[in-house]
Homo-oligomer: A and B are copies of this chain.
Amino acid sequence: MALPSTETSRHDNTLAVIRTLRDQGPVARVDLGALNGISSATVTSISTELLQQGLISERPPETPRPTGRGRPKTLIELNAQAACVVCIKLSINEIQLVVGDFTGQVRHSEHHTVSTLTLSADDLAVLLEEKIDAACDQLLGGFQRLAGICLAVQGVVSSQNGTIIWSPALSFRNARISARLTERFHCSVLLENDANCIASVLAAKPDYADCPNMVVIMLGYGIGMSVLINGVPYLGANGSAAEFGHSKYQPDGALCACGRRGCIEAYASDYALYRAAAEHLNLPAGDSAHPSEQQMQALTQLAMNGDPAAQRIYAEAGRALGIGIANILALFNPDLVLITGSGVRGFDAMQATMHHAIDEALVAELRGTTRIESCAWDRDMTCMGGIAMALNATDGETLLESQTAREA
């Protein structure tokens, strides 16, 4: 049933207050009103209700400084224990599980090495259930409820249907995963492409505040992308938009992990770089189809130290990346292209040929004024984004649950 419009507006204002407290930390009531364009009477009424529901608490005023005038303000802040959310990042041979509290802070993080490619869809669901269960057993004593789960997956997902369509980390396809976790944990489950989680973190940074149309390219084992249009991830008709790694550099070119030829990924991803290098260079042994961080750092170091073969490989990767980005500029004309991911370690060895390829490919009018920048990689960024998205998606439910609990 739709709420009457005054209740909708009260609900929206309450969510705005919660989000402001999450973004800004402790805030005085008067500032909450000003930041959200809400009257002070409404802020007072909302904060009284949230206090009663246990979703916020008051922070006693600090002792006024000798020079301070007037009564110091009481700050209000989110109650970190009001709810927690879990984000699980699923990538090749690794699962990371992070628990975030109601303020969005990470309270727990664990990594597991798992042969993801040998899992069946059922194995994966059982594994995720076990890991979430274990984390909940350990942590839920401290939290009022598990509000939501975000599953951040490399590859193509349908967020709407909760289906992993295709991931380089998995050998099965079209697995309906969200419904099963929802049933098991009685909370909402978000299924997201990992690049969209990262883009949501980056888009919140003040440096990119004037970039509503932003493209984030993730270099790593594969190559991912997120396209934000007016700040919202563009998903396409079935969730398979923004597959930059499988756009083409050279028709009939190098073999890609997807099984086709000539994809950008077949030149500029970790496995492609290591594959090209393996023939010519003395590099750490291992599974060269899935090179480790140590192997990739050894290869990058060779290029940075001036080894001509390593330099040639990175130069070609930069050129492929440049042609791919030229297509992005021609088709999306974004405000910003931001290159990140673990593969950004080799960006210095790629960027000269990348910029050259872009300039060669496009006339100035199509090159436009798009900023093209790289951004240091933080392996926790995906889960940070997933936690923020899960909290955003579940604030409404948390509010409802707390109201119901209070009224009962």
Residues of A within 8 A of B (CB): 156, 165-166, 173, 213, 227, 229, 234-244, 246-251, 258-262, 319, 323, 326-328, 330-335, 357, 360-363, 365-366, 368-370
Known contacts A229-B234, A357-B251, A332 near B165 by CB under 8 Å: no
Q: List 9 A-B contacts (CB under 8 A).
A: A227-B331, A241-B331, A243-B330, A243-B366, A244-B330, A249-B251, A259-B363, A260-B362, A327-B327
Contact A333 B237 (CB under 8 A): yes
Q: Is the CB of B369 within 8 A of A238?
A: yes
Shortest beta-carbon distance, A22 to chain B, in Å? 29
Contact of A262 among B247, B361, B369 (CB under 8 A): B361
Contact across chains for B260 and A333 when beta carbons are under 8 A apart: no
8 Å CB contact of A331 from B173, B323, B328, B370? B328
Is B366 within 8 A of A333, CB to CB?
no
A272→B175 CA distance, assembly (Å): 45
What residues on B are CB-neighbors of A333 within 8 Å?
235-243
Q: Given the complex, which residues of B lie within 8 Å of A227, measured CB to CB?
A: 331
Measured between alpha carbons, how far is A51 from B249 in the docked complex, in Å? Answer: 61
Known A-B contacts A251-B323, A327-B247; the reply to A366 vs B240 at CB < 8 A is yes
Which of A173, A229, A361 counts the most chain B CB atoms within 10 A?
A: A361
Q: Are B362 and A246 in contact (CB under 8 A)?
A: yes
Residues of B within 8 A of A229 (CB): 229, 234
Chain B residue with Cβ nearest A213? B237
CA–CA, A153 and B160, complex, Å: 38
Instruction: Determine whether the beta carbon of A331 is less than 8 Å from that of B369.
Output: no
Closest to A336 in B: B237
**Contact in complex: A331, B331 (CB < 8 Å):** yes
- A370 contact set on B, CB distance < 8 A: 237
Complex contacts, A251 vs chain B, CB 8 Å: 249-250, 319, 323, 357, 361
Which residues on B sit within 8 Å (CB–CB) of A241? 331-333
**Chain B residues whose CB sits within 8 angstroms of the CB of A236 once the complex forms:** 213, 332-334, 368
CB pair B365–A244 under 8 Å, yes or no, is no
* Residue in B closest to A363 when the chains form the complex, CB atoms: B258
